[in-house]
Structure 1
Amino acid sequence: MRFTNKLCAQHLGWMFKKHWLIQGKRVARDTGAAAELEKLGIAVCDPKDVLKEQRPKTEHKMLVFEDQRVTEIPQDATHPDWHSKPCHIFGDSNVLLEGVAQAQVLTKSIEIEGFPKNIEETINKMQLNSNVDKNVQNSIMLSHVFDAEQVKLPKIKIPERPAFNLPREYGISYSRRRRLLINKLIFECEKLSGNSVTSRRQIFDNANFNVNLLKDDDLLQFELCAETLMTATKPIEAVKGKYEGEIPDLYPIKHTITIPKRNIYAPKNSYPLRSALSCSHPHTIFIHFDKENVKNLHGTPVSTTQFQSRNLMKAFTVASARAKQLYGDSVEQLPKPIVVQSIQTDGKTFHFGVFQLNTLQLNGSDGTKNYWFHLPNVDLFSECTYKVGRPILEGYNKDCFRYLKAFYSNC
């Protein structure tokens, strides 16, 4: 006989297992209920016979499914959007080779240094206290340093050593920095303007515009996006006075150089908001510039004039899309000019411009012309980063926010 350990407690798992084993052998007793129901003439049936669905016996057939894989549409004349006449399509990532001069030829616009008189007067009369500058500086720090996002940033290249790989950095993505900065600066403008102005403004994100135009027998399609679109209950008044200027001569370069040409396209004109809305008039657009996506075809860095031309092209596209929505796709001479303010930034450098659309008759360089008011690029700050573990902001320029506030208040 083998001695075992003394069990001081009953094992609950074993007890429940044995209990269910014993209870499972019990037989249900006859309660006499069935006999009483039969005396009353009520038939008693087995529940399985009632609940079981009676299905007729059918033969099973094999189902054959067709191949549902999407086949690629050939990029040739059999494509449904194929056109014999090619179209030059200008998108968000395209860059004009000759910069502002080429944009002037494409949009038939004259370049005017400075802002319209009403905006200049607003800037000269503007008086902002030190608390406003402090709030703007805090907005810069919150968007560039203090946000919690941590992602892998694009690679840093040294032009003198193109094959050398620097360690990857983590931090706030550049697109998020720009969006946070613009939203916070607009919020500061709203606080200063009051409800009388903010109630007449609406803000939309990622508004897409499409415009199809004909210039000197060349078909042009502009497919551009405004990362932030500000609309107003009434349009901005046309600039007073008449301005004279000449359209640049690009010879021997053609005005469509570096703009891709395709035979497969869908010509259309679209404005993101219905004209019946009370707050559908374009007021100001905010454009993001990302050097990782916007590049020259030959790989060289984007120049200052190319940076500014992108602002002009987007302002022209917004104004043209609105004009075609109001006056029809075939309009050329506008009954009333359309003014659009445009601000482009890479998160640090800002470019302010005002575009007035007078005509969509873009052939040649004579006749009615459009106006493009702008100033050189302005840096909001020189550096905003961590140094020795401490956040710093250097070279803050208060004039940049004053331009933005004047644009917001303009009507």
Structure 2
Amino acid sequence: MAAAAAALLRRAARGLPSRLARGILTRSAPPRPRGPLPRTPWTTRGPPPEELWRLSERPPPREQVELDAVTYAGRQHFVPGLARPRFPPWDRGWRDPWHSPGPRYEEMPLRKERGCFVCHQRVRLLEGVRQAQWLTKTKLVEGLPPAVLSIVNNPAHHLEGLEERVKHAISHARFWDTMEAAPRREHYCPVLFEDLIHLCRLMSAKYPSLTKRMLARNYKIAATWERESILLQVRGLNGVLMNSMAPIPPVASKEEVLATEEHVLETFYPISPTIDLQEVNVYRELNDTGFRDGYPYTHPHTLFFLESANIRPNRFRPEQLRAKMLMFAFGNALAKAKVLYGNDPKVLEHPVVVQSVGTDGQLFQFMVFQLNTTDLVSNDGIKNLVWIDSDQNLYEKAQCVPEIKKRVVTKPVGIYGFQPDTFKKFLALYLHGTV
């Protein structure tokens, strides 16, 4: 009987887990107490203290003998599994400017220890106009100067059929000069600018001196000045410049210029005034208007900036665009002043006036800048002046595709929110200096 019972227990234990079967066979023996696991020499907490001395006495690693890599240089074609060959640089025997590495910055003849902060056409000033005011030692006046407003408010200086002509120019840029349903900004912004300039040229029949002007594109400006031991420079390409044979007369009177001595320039501590400017060590302290001697249209009149990028992040925001307009208007005026009066810092007897207009094809920025002094090192003394009329819409919306709801046209194609006063200001800046 005992043998039969043991056989039955063995058969029943075959279908159970090993631990349970062992407990049945051994009549539920108590489990053994488990001790701590042996500690490995390398764990997440680092080596154990008792083995630190072993690590410090480890022999140095053996130096591996470098083997020559087997390349496919002899095959003269790519072979999988073989290393890529490296050849010494090829000496042509003559200097190819497209394939020759340039000299190092340390070896360049124009390298200087003192850095220069450059403002070029892609610089976006963080603090906007306030930062540009400090860099150019300029006092801001809101609105356009009285000399320009008198032209705006005088109907004798307006174009005949102004509203209808401007609407035709907007329609030509937004609706007619394209095969697309909704043209991109990079297309209609330059077209609108050319049409508006054409409308301004129509006034030359009434004022013949307007024919003594010229539009210059892709010219390069260079102007250097010092501001509180900081060397600054405006350099490179900028907007379209309209030059004239005669300069624009000063906008502010001598009393207004002398009153700028009491103006205190706004600071934006702890932000550095040179933030966002490019610091370079290879440069020339150059002052150049961008035109050769003998050019008949020697006086800068108005700068036009077209922010025609279709993608919004690639366009300058209005505040950054106004700062860019101020910096380059100042650069053109400073370069012209140094041609006329020399490089010595001084208060100008006849201030240099440069205007600026910025637009993205819908929103316009107007600016008039007057350079009163080239002594820009300290904050004391006479300051320059700038008048800014910002965020002027020529039209609110150009509906290129009609809005249809329930088979009913709720908003037809057309121009909405047209504001003719914006073009009157554009025309007044064009006529300024002639009327």
Counterpart contact for 1:284–1:340, Cα < 8 Å: yes
Deviations 1:298-349 (A, max 9, x none): xxx8554323211111111111111122223344432321001110111111
Partner residue, 1:364: 378
Name the SS for the 2:176 alignment partner: coil
Bigger-Rg structure (1/2): 2
- Say whether 1:288 aligns with 2:306: yes
- Say whether 1:206 aligns with 2:218: yes
1:267 CA displacement: 3.0
Counterpart contact for 1:190–1:198, Cα < 8 Å: yes
Which of 320, 342, 345 lines up with 1:306 in the alignment? 320
Partner Cα distance (2:290, 2:360) in 1: 24
1:385 CA displacement: 4.4
For structure 2, the residue ranges without an aligned partner over 5 or more in a row are 1-90, 404-411
Partner Cα distance (1:394, 1:380) in 2: 10
Counterpart contact for 1:287–1:311, Cα < 8 Å: yes
Which of 129, 136, 139 lines up with 2:166 in the alignment? 136
Counterpart contact for 1:92–1:225, Cα < 8 Å: yes
Partner residue, 2:51: none
- Say whether 1:248 aligns with 2:266: yes
Counterpart contact for 1:319–1:338, Cα < 8 Å: yes
Which of 387, 390, 396 lines up with 2:401 in the alignment? 387
TM-score, normalised with respect to structure 1: 0.72
2:334 is matched by which residue type in structure 1?
S
Identity of aligned residues (%): 28
Query: In 2 relative to 1, CA 68–311 (structure 1 residues): closer, same or farther, beyond 3 Å?
Result: closer
Which of 244, 249, 267 lines up with 1:232 in the alignment? 244
Query: Number of paired residues?
Result: 325
Computed over aligned residues only, the root mean square deviation of the Cα atoms, in angstroms, reads 2.7
Counterpart contact for 2:186–2:310, Cα < 8 Å: no
Counterpart contact for 1:275–1:325, Cα < 8 Å: no
Partner residue, 2:352: 338
Deviations 1:227-284 (A, max 9, x none): 3211222111112421533311222222111112122223322112345444321111
Partner Cα distance (1:231, 1:208) in 2: 14
Query: In 2 relative to 1, CA 94–351 (structure 1 residues): closer, same or farther, beyond 3 Å?
Result: same
Partner Cα distance (2:144, 2:171) in 1: 29
Deviations 1:190-214 (A, max 9, x none): 2134251322322222332111111
Partner residue, 2:113: 84
Name the SS for the 1:191 alignment partner: helix
Partner residue, 1:126: 155
Counterpart contact for 2:182–2:401, Cα < 8 Å: no
2:377 is matched by which residue type in structure 1?
N
Single out whichever of 352-361 and 256-265 deviates more from structure 2: 256-265
- Say whether 1:177 aligns with 2:188: yes
- Say whether 1:399 aligns with 2:424: no
Query: In 2 relative to 1, CA 134–87 (structure 1 residues): closer, same or farther, beyond 3 Å?
Result: same
2:101 is matched by which residue type in structure 1?
E
1:76 CA displacement: 2.9
Partner residue, 1:220: 232
Partner Cα distance (1:350, 1:84) in 2: 42
TM-score, normalised with respect to structure 2: 0.68
2:209 is matched by which residue type in structure 1?
V
For structure 1, the residue ranges without an aligned partner over 5 or more in a row are 1-63, 151-169
Partner Cα distance (1:252, 1:339) in 2: 33
